[in-house]
């Protein structure tokens, strides 16, 4: 049950499948345990009630029973052995990130994405292609995608429920793992999965969502080319005015508008806005439309309490937000 | 004669009596009242959480307020409600069960309570002084160092003070159970509640120091500019996770083991049958206590410690299911062939079994490391630990409170009200938490202040909220019951359930301040039951009637604790205000001077002379 783009019960890739299988196996074993306990439980509580046994009966005081006690020690051990073998195997298997460290690794064989979690937004860097995106992760299907995970401020946790379990983004070290996106089931989920932050990180922890777009390996190659040649020009007068404002109001000092942002990581303090016009959500949670973009520009705290943008720029008038919206809406790869 | 004196007392002197008491029975009542109060506070916080999550994008609480409420709900329930309520029952019952006149260190016992009390008050004052802690009860280092305001400082300082109290209480129970057992009360004749208190106290002894270290480092980082948890300057936040969970996992066993003990007392009494497999029960408790220290990394499977660590801790964690399973079957077999009376206490005890098994099996699922990557930090985990903590600890507390209420207060809680309250609580509990397993698997992370529509999470959350209202109704009815009973209830004798098996049921309800006129001689497990079966009217005394030595009450424990409470404010505001620094020294001065007074003033206590002891010996009767 649940939605195919969000539920761990609708697994859509190798990792989620394995975890789902383990969940099912352990649930089955546990159902057996619960059933056995329940049967004995209901029998004893009904059969030995005082109104049936008699008010003054003194039951036999039994000390114990060796055979029974050994039985209910050994059987659980056996059940656990059944469970523990696949658990250990899968745990080791899911941690195999050796291809990403291989010398002469080709991006086509083992794609690596650097994920950086920040207070309420995500950055995805494709080091092989020199591309940076924010809030939307683009991945090819039917191959293992390797992730380097870290956080730039506080601890977060990277989780795409229907594609695989989570791994924390620590402030101390980089964590590595891989996920696989199955093409058929990605299609069923609309080629779009929901990603979440799974570690409490502050007021807007609940709103720290991201989106995952899946496409075939071929389409993905096309996308990387598109991004490399990314160029976006403001067309209308209003958009041009917005572009001016974007510089004037110092938005550029934090937000890049090209996917090949060359600045050092520490300087990239806000989401990259290249392809903003193609995104489905504003701030990861709100429908991408004029009203919401303007609401965000007016008061980001009304949408994401505790975000780092509030108070870093001068107040914007209505006409200024209109112009900025027009400009931001037009941030698309030229070919689209 | 003593009773007549008590009645003449004014309200003021009764208050003074409780502020200075070192009597384990009165300290039990203090723990019960304070722990009960914090339980209500934590419960109100829980209701706020459920109201906020009743529908998507609800605006009942702001994001910041939600994080504070959620943090304080967890912290309050664990440190200020569950543990003190267990201490209430331990204090009320354990000395009686082992046939002792008090605990080993009555003065320390009072000190433990007051430290907990002032720590808890300090922590909750954060609500009125700029905002409560907001980083979850786990207070992971990067977030809690990032947190603005003084919330986390209240957390760090308040828990250090109350943690000291817990450590003292634990040491006191260890010493008491080792040294104060009546003649004939060997270890393998100890009632199970005493056994679990013993093991839980040992866990406290080893688990609280890591917490204290963690909190101290956090305090230094936040208030004195050190960088233990700052990775940019060579610190490490994962260390906090280790320190916290090396404490945190044993902590849940500190809670659940005494609850196991309560069920092991309640079930034999109302099934009129000896506990099945006593020695394997004891073995299982000790084994669970030991394994409790070997599994903390299962809270950190997604931290990235590597597959080998995860696999090892997965196996270790699953191993705990075996001794726990042994206990479940022993309880079932205790009922098997018994003669079961369903009192409110027994209803809680019996319904604990299937409820806890559900929580236990999801625990094994969570131990499956590779699968846990999906479960971790979702509502699946929320469901799991509420199943073990409510289905285990709270059911245990409620069973214990109903069971020992007549021993503590001399009156049986109204049974019909108790049963209605039980039904409401039981339904509400399962309604609230069962569905959360699925909500979690469907992709809802925990600790979120809201969720968006269209993700399939609406129904589950609404059901949870409805269930929470049932639980609230049950608790309100329990309160009504307590008030009704204290006004209208009738006094009962030494053995109000008529099937008492252990020594607490040999003394009057409530017991005299010296507990036993003559210490009883113990001839086996369930000593009272043995005497009853042998046709004896009372326990065989192990000593002649003699003067009884009693400790004097003292206000010093309260003052020592109050000094730390004052010092904590100084520490908190040291960098904000000039008065902060002197206040630290004033507070510590109060504490240390009072400790000095305690050391230099000789207090030999007093004697109750044998002529003053009642003749008819209401106490030792079977």
CA distance A149 to A171: 10
Domain ranges of chain B: 24-554+603-612
Residue recorded with tokens 């604790």: B561
Confidence of residue B618 (pLDDT cuts 50, 70, 90): very low
Structure tokens at B503: 């020594």
CA distance B38 to B100: 30
What is the CATH number that goes with domain B24-554+603-612? 1.20.210.10
Please report the pLDDT score of residue B622 as a whole number.
42
ipTM of the complex: 0.95
Residue B469 pLDDT > 80: yes
- Considering only CA atoms, which of B472, B475, B539 is closest in space to residue B501? B539
* Cβ–Cβ gap A18/B370 under 8 Å: yes
Classify the phi-psi angles of B73: left when phi > 0, otherwise alpha if psi is within -120 to 50, otherwise beta. Answer: alpha
* Cβ–Cβ gap B336/A48 under 8 Å: yes
Please report the pLDDT score of residue B80 as a whole number.
97
Nearest to B374 among A8, A149, A173 (CB): A8
Annotated binding site of B for Fe(II)-heme a: 73, 386
* Cβ–Cβ gap B456/A3 under 8 Å: yes
Structure tokens at B117: 């009390």
Annotated binding site of B: 73, 249, 253, 298-299, 384, 386
User: Contact B477/B469 with Cβ under 8 angstroms?
Assistant: no
The partner residues of A147 in beta bridges, in order of sequence, read: A113, A177
Per residue in A123-142, pLDDT (tens digit) is 999 999 999 999 999 999 99
Q: Is B340 helix (H, G, I), strand (E, B) or coil?
A: strand
Nearest to B337 among A48, A157, A204 (CB): A48
Residue B562 pLDDT > 70: yes
Q: How many A/B residue pairs have CB atoms within 8 Å? A: 285
Confidence of residue A231 (pLDDT cuts 50, 70, 90): confident
What is the CATH number that goes with domain A237-329? 2.60.40.420
Please report the pLDDT score of residue A335 as a whole number.
63
Please report the pLDDT score of residue B9 as a whole number.
60
Please report the pLDDT score of residue B619 as a whole number.
44
Nearest to B142 among A20, A58, A155 (CB): A155
**CA of B507, closest CA in chain A: separation in Å?**
23
Residues of B numbered 441-460 whose beta carbons fall under 8 angstroms of chain A's beta carbons: which are they?
441-443, 445-452, 454-456
CA A214 to chain centroid: 14
* Average confidence (pLDDT) over B120-139: 96
CA distance B444 to A7: 9
Q: Look over chain A and give the mean of its residue pLDDT values, rounded to a whole number.
A: 93
Please report the pLDDT score of residue B614 as a whole number.
85
Nearest to B231 among A171, A202, A209 (CB): A171
Residue B537 pLDDT > 90: no
Residue B621 pLDDT > 50: no
Q: What is the DSSP letter of B414?
A: P
Q: Is B548 helix (H, G, I), strand (E, B) or coil?
A: strand
**CA of B6, closest CA in chain A: separation in Å?**
39
CATH fold of A1-55+62-214 reads Immunoglobulin-like (2.60.40)
CA distance B183 to B539: 12
Distances (CA, A) of A177 to A94, A116, A130, B156, B390: 7, 14, 21, 34, 36
* Cβ–Cβ gap B339/A200 under 8 Å: no
A40: chain B residues, CB-CB within 8 Å: 329, 332, 336
A73 CB within 8 Å of a chain B CB: yes
Please report the pLDDT score of residue B1 as a whole number.
42
- DSSP letters of B43-67? HHHHHHHHHHTSSTT--SS-HHHHH
% of residues, chain A, pLDDT over 70: 99
Q: What is the DSSP letter of A177?
A: E
Per residue in B185-203, pLDDT (tens digit) is 999 999 999 999 999 999 9
Structure tokens at A46: 């009904």
B58 CB within 8 Å of a chain A CB: no
The partner residues of A211 in beta bridges, in order of sequence, read: A136, A194
CA distance B390 to B431: 13
A51 CB within 8 Å of a chain B CB: no
In chain A, CATH 2.60.40.420 sits at 1-55+62-214, 237-329
Q: Look over chain B and give the mean of its residue pLDDT values, rounded to a whole number.
A: 95
Please report the pLDDT score of residue A336 as a whole number.
60
Please report the pLDDT score of residue A108 as a whole number.
87
- Considering only CA atoms, which of B115, B114, B101, B117 is closest in space to residue B23? B101
% of residues, chain B, pLDDT over 70: 97
Residues of B numbered 260-299 whose beta carbons fall under 8 angstroms of chain A's beta carbons: which are they?
271-274, 276-280
């Amino acid at each position: 049950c649940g939605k195919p783009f969000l539920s761990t019960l609708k697994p859509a890739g190798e990792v989620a499948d394995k975890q789902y299988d383990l969940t099912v196996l352990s649930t089955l074993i546990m159902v057996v345990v619960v059933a056995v306990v329940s049967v004995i439980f209901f029998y004893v509580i009904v059969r030995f009630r005082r109104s049936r046994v008699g008010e003054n009966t003194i039951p036999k005081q039994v000390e114990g029973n060796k055979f029974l006690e050994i039985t209910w020690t050994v059987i659980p051990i056996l059940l656990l052995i059944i469970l523990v073998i696949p658990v250990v195997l899968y745990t080791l298997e899911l941690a195999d990130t050796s291809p990403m460290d291989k010398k002469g690794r080709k991006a086509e064989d083992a794609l690596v994405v650097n994920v950086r979690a920040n207070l309420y937004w995500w950055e995805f860097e494709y080091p092989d292609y020199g591309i940076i995106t924010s809030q939307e992760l683009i991945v090819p299907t039917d191959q293992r995608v390797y992730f380097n995970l870290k956080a730039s401020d506080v601890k977060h946790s990277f989780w795409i429920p229907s594609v695989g379990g989570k791994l924390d983004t620590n402030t101390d070290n980089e964590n590595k793992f891989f996920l696989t996106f199955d093409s058929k089931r990605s299609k069923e989920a609309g080629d779009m999965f929901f990603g979440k932050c799974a570690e409490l990180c502050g007021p807007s922890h609940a709103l720290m969502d991201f989106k995952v777009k899946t496409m075939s390996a071929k389409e993905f190659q096309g996308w990387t080319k598109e991004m490399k040649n990314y160029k976006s020009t403001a067309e209308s007068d209003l958009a041009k005015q917005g572009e001016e404002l974007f510089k004037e109001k110092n938005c550029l000092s934090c937000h890049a508008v090209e996917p090949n942002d060359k600045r050092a990581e520490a300087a990239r303090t806000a989401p990259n806005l290249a392809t903003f016009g193609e995104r489905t959500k504003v701030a990861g949670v709100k429908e991408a439309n004029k009203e919401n973009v303007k609401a965000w520009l007016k008061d980001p705290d009304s949408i994401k309490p505790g975000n780092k943008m509030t108070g870093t720029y001068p107040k914007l008038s209505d006409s200024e937000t209109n112009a900025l919206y027009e400009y931001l809406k037009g941030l698309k790869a030229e070919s689209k | 004669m003593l009773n007549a004196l008590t009645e003449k007392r004014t309200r003021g002197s009764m208050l003074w009596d409780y502020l200075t008491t070192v009597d384990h029975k009165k300290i039990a009542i203090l723990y019960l009242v304070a722990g009960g109060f914090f339980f209500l506070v934590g419960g109100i916080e829980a209701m706020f959480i459920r109201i906020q999550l009743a529908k998507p994008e609800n605006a009942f609480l702001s994001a910041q307020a939600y994080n504070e409420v959620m943090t304080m709900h967890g912290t309050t329930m664990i440190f200020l409600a569950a543990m003190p309520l267990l201490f209430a029952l331990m204090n009320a019952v354990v000395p009686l069960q082992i046939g002792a006149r008090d605990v080993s260190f009555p003065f320390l016992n009072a000190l433990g309570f007051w430290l907990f009390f002032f720590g808890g008050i300090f922590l909750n004052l954060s609500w009125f002084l700029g905002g409560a802690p907001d980083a979850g009860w786990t207070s992971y280092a990067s977030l809690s160092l990032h947190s603005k305001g003084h919330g986390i400082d209240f957390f760090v300082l308040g828990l250090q003070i109350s943690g000291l109290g817990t450590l003292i209480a634990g040491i006191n129970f260890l010493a008491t159970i080792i040294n104060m057992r009546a003649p004939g009360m060997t270890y393998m004749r100890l009632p199970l509640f005493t056994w679990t208190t013993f093991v839980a106290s040992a866990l406290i002894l080893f688990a609280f120091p890591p917490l204290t270290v963690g909190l101290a480092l956090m305090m230094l980082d936040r208030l004195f500019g050190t960088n233990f948890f700052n990775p940019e300057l060579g610190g490490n936040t994962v260390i906090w996770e280790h320190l916290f969970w090396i404490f945190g996992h044993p902590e849940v066993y500190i809670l659940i083991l005494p609850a196991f003990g309560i069920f092991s007392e309640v079930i034999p009494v109302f099934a009129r049958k000896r506990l099945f497999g006593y020695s394997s029960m004891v073995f299982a408790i000790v084994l669970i206590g030991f394994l409790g220290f070997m599994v903390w990394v299962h809270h950190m499977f997604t931290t990235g410690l590597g597959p080998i660590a995860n696999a090892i801790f997965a196996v270790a964690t699953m191993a705990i299911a075996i001794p726990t399973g042994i206990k479940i079957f022993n309880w079932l077999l205790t009922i098997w062939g018994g003669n079961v009376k369903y009192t409110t206490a027994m209803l809680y005890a019996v319904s604990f079994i299937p409820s806890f098994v559900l929580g236990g099996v999801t625990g094994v699922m969570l131990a499956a490391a590779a699968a846990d990557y999906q479960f971790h930090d979702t509502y699946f985990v929320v469901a799991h630990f509420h199943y073990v903590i409510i289905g285990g600890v709270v059911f245990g507390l409620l069973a214990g409170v109903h069971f020992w209420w007549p021993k503590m207060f001399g009156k049986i809680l109204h049974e019909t009200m108790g049963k209605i309250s039980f039904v409401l609580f039981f339904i509400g509990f399962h309604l609230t938490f069962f569905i959360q397993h699925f909500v979690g698997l469907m992709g809802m992370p925990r600790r979120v202040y809201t969720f968006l529509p269209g993700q399939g999470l609406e129904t589950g959350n609404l059901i949870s909220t409805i269930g929470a209202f049932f639980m609230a109704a049950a608790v309100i009815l329990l309160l009504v019951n307590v008030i009704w009973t204290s006004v209208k209830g009738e006094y009962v004798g030494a053995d109000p359930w008529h099937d008492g098996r252990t020594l607490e049921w040999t003394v009057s309800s409530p017991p005299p301040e010296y507990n036993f006129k003559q210490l009883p001689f113990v001839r086996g497990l369930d000593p009272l039951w043995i005497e009853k079966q042998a046709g004896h009217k009372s326990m065989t005394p192990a000593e002649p009637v003699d003067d009884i030595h009693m400790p004097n009450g003292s206000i010093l424990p309260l003052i020592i604790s109050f000094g730390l409470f004052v010092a904590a404010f100084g520490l908190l505001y040291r960098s904000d205000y000039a008065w902060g620094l002197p206040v630290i020294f004033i507070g510590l001065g109060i504490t240390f001077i009072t400790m000095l007074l305690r050391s230099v003033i000789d207090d030999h206590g007093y004697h109750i002379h044998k002529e003053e002891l009642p003749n008819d010996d209401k106490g030792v009767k079977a």
